[in-house]
């Protein structure tokens, strides 16, 4: 049985496996510029964030209907459940779909169908002892593309209003896409508007961008978690602040290797970050592209960094501590109790 965990840094569009991409392309009469899934998988060789993003946005062309988004989320949740994910806060990129004529309603209604299906325990699986016996609680976080204008982000927030919590599934806003040259302060106004609507706030910062972007995301955007945040380690004063305030960092180790933020996993600063007292979590980012889902990331850091079982338990505990579950503390306590009771195998 896998260690129970929450997934806090997961782009649903980044769960599009080559097989599903081809199936959706066929269903929608779209011809992909790859002969087959093998050729597509070979294209998953990236030099940096931008080369990844180019492929990622290109492949989204196959996502057109509510059914497509429902199938995408269904496939992700099945894999996540099998890897011990109990709770997932899922990013999506409304602007990337709107640019192709796919409205936010299509995206949210489609995703929502799958999220609802997985929201409760699966009794048939439980009876058969299947690995996906557990349900998964989920929330959506809409990300603004930081290489688009602040005005476009504001329009996107406006369009999302029918789908916001507490009536809809969107609980927060995030900031993603090409980081360098697009500092957080560009989005001050839209984050203020999001806060006024009662939304939670996160932002990618310190992945390829400098530590100053992390500070700016905290000070100017008022974010409650930092996505990635790896480069905080270059600034001891910033580390001290993140430790003092226990600001969660949603690290994505396999992503960092594939996008060359670190050379090899054995060089990843995760152990030093935990030793420093940072509230680190381990997540999968874009698992179809980066070589693994949440459990695969846990397995990879355990092997490459020699993390002891109690370190892995700490990471799992952190994932629930950092979750936006304030509306359901009983649920959080249940998940945390499961983490404490977990027995590691030999
Ligand atoms: C992303 Cl790894 C990463 N960084 C920034 N934006 C993204 N969108 C999807 N994956
Ligand atoms: Zn990301």
Instruction: Give 70-88 pLDDT, tens digit per residue.
Output: 999 999 999 999 999 999 9
Asked if residue 67 belongs to a known ligand binding site, the reply is no
Which positions ≥6 away from 321 have C-beta within 8 Å? 248, 279, 336
Amino acid 120: pLDDT: 73
229 pLDDT higher than 80: yes
Amino acid 205: pLDDT: 98
Residue 339 lies in a domain: no
Task: Give the residue whose CA is nearest to atom 8 of ligand 1.
Answer: 177
181, burial (CB in 10 Å: exposed 0-12, middle 13-18, buried 19+): exposed
Q: How many CB atoms lie within 10 A of CB 66?
A: 17
Residue 335 lies in a domain: no
Ligand 1 centroid, distance to 177 Cα (angstroms): 5
Amino acid 346: pLDDT: 61
CA–CA dist 165, 168 (Å, integer): 5
Per DSSP bridges, beta strands 280-282 and 225-228 are unpaired
Average pLDDT rounded to a whole number, residues 20-43 = 96
Residue 343 lies in a domain: no
Amino acid 303: pLDDT: 98
Helix (H, G, I), strand (E, B) or coil at 341: helix
Backbone angles phi and psi of 208, in degrees to 5: -100, -20
Amino acid 163: pLDDT: 98
334 pLDDT higher than 90: yes
Dihedral Cα 293, 15, 108, 207, nearest 10 deg: 80
In 3D, which of 305, 310, 253, 241 has the Cα closest to residue 279? Answer: 241
Average pLDDT, the chain: 95
CA–CA dist 272, 274 (Å, integer): 5
Residue 303 lies in a domain: yes
Q: Is 207 in the pocket of ligand 1 (CB under 6 A)?
A: yes
Domain count, the chain: 1
pTM: 0.96
- In percent, the amount of the chain with pLDDT more than 90 equals 93
pLDDT tens digits for 279-298?
999 999 999 999 999 999 99
Nearest-atom number in ligand 1 for the CA of 204 is 5
127 pLDDT higher than 70: no
Q: In angstroms, what CA-CA distances link 238 with 91, 115, 203? A: 26, 36, 16
**Diameter over CA atoms, the chain:** 54
Give residue 38's Cα distance to chain centre. Answer: 26
- Which of 13, 89, 179, 207 does the annotation list as catalytic? 207
Amino acid 345: pLDDT: 86
pLDDT tens digits for 130-151?
545 689 999 999 999 999 999 9
Find the domain containing 113 and state its range: 5-320
* Three-class DSSP labels, 76-131: HHHHHHHCCEEEEEEEECHHHHHCCCCCHHHHHHHHHHHHHHCCCCCHHHHHHCCC
Amino acid 123: pLDDT: 52
Ligand 1 centroid, distance to 205 Cα (angstroms): 11
- In the residue annotation, 207 being an active-site residue is answered as yes
Average pLDDT rounded to a whole number, residues 322-340 = 98
Decide if 196 contacts 167 (C-beta within 8 A).
Answer: no
Residue 338 lies in a domain: no
pLDDT tens digits for 242-274?
999 999 999 999 999 999 999 999 999 999 999
- Supply the CATH number for residue 284's domain: 3.20.20.140
Residue 337 lies in a domain: no
Decide if 285 contacts 296 (C-beta within 8 A).
Answer: no
Task: Give the residue whose CA is nearest to atom 1 of ligand 1.
Answer: 177
Residue 344 lies in a domain: no
- pLDDT band for position 194 (cuts 50, 70, 90): very high
Probe ligand 1: pick from 9, 15, 52, max atoms within 8 Å of CB? Answer: 52
Continuous segment of H or E residues that includes residue 144: strand 137-145
Residue 107 lies in a domain: yes
- In percent, the amount of the chain with pLDDT more than 70 equals 96
Helix (H, G, I), strand (E, B) or coil at 251: strand
Amino acid 113: pLDDT: 97
Helix (H, G, I), strand (E, B) or coil at 54: helix
Ligand 1 centroid, distance to 176 Cα (angstroms): 6
Q: How many CB atoms lie within 10 A of CB 109?
A: 15
Backbone angles phi and psi of 142, in degrees to 5: -85, 130
Decide if 80 contacts 293 (C-beta within 8 A).
Answer: yes
């Amino acid at each position: 049985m896998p260690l129970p965990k929450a997934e806090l840094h997961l782009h649903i569009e980044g769960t599009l496996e080559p097989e599903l991409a081809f199936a959706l392309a066929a269903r929608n009469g779209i011809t992909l510029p790859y002969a087959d899934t093998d050729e597509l998988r070979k294209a998953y060789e990236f030099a940096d964030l931008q080369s990844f993003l180019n492929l990622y946005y290109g492949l989204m062309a196959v996502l057109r209907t509510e059914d497509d988004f429902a199938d995408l989320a269904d496939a992700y949740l099945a894999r996540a459940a099998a890897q011990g994910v109990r709770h997932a806060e899922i990013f999506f990129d409304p602007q990337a779909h709107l640019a192709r004529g796919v409205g936010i309603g299509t995206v949210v209604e489609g995703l929502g169908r799958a999220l609802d299906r997985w929201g409760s325990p699966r009794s048939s699986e439980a009876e058969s002892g299947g690995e996906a016996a557990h349900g998964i609680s989920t929330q959506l976080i809409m990300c603004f593309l930081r290489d688009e204008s602040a005005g476009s982000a504001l329009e996107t927030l406006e369009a999302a209003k029918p789908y916001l919590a507490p009536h809809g599934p969107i609980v927060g806003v995030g900031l993603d896409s090409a980081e360098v040259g697009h500092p957080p302060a560009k989005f001050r106004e839209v984050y203020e508007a999001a806060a006024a609507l009662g939304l939670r706030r996160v932002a990618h910062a310190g992945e390829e961008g400098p530590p100053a972007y992390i500070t700016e995301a905290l000070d100017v955007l008022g974010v409650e978690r930092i996505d990635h945040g790896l480069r905080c380690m270059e600034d001891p004063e910033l580390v001290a602040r993140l430790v003092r305030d226990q600001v969660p960092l949603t690290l994505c180790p396999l992503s960092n290797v594939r996008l060359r933020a670190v050379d090899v996993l054995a060089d990843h600063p995760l152990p030093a970050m935990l030793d420093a007292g940072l509230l680190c979590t381990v997540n999968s980012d874009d698992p179809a592209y980066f070589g693994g889902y949440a459990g695969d990331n846990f397995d990879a850091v355990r092997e490459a960094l020699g993390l002891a079982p109690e370190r892995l338990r700490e990471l799992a505990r952190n994932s629930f501590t950092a979750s936006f579950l304030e509306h359901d503390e009983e649920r959080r306590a249940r998940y945390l109790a499961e983490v404490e009771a977990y027995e590691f195998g030999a």
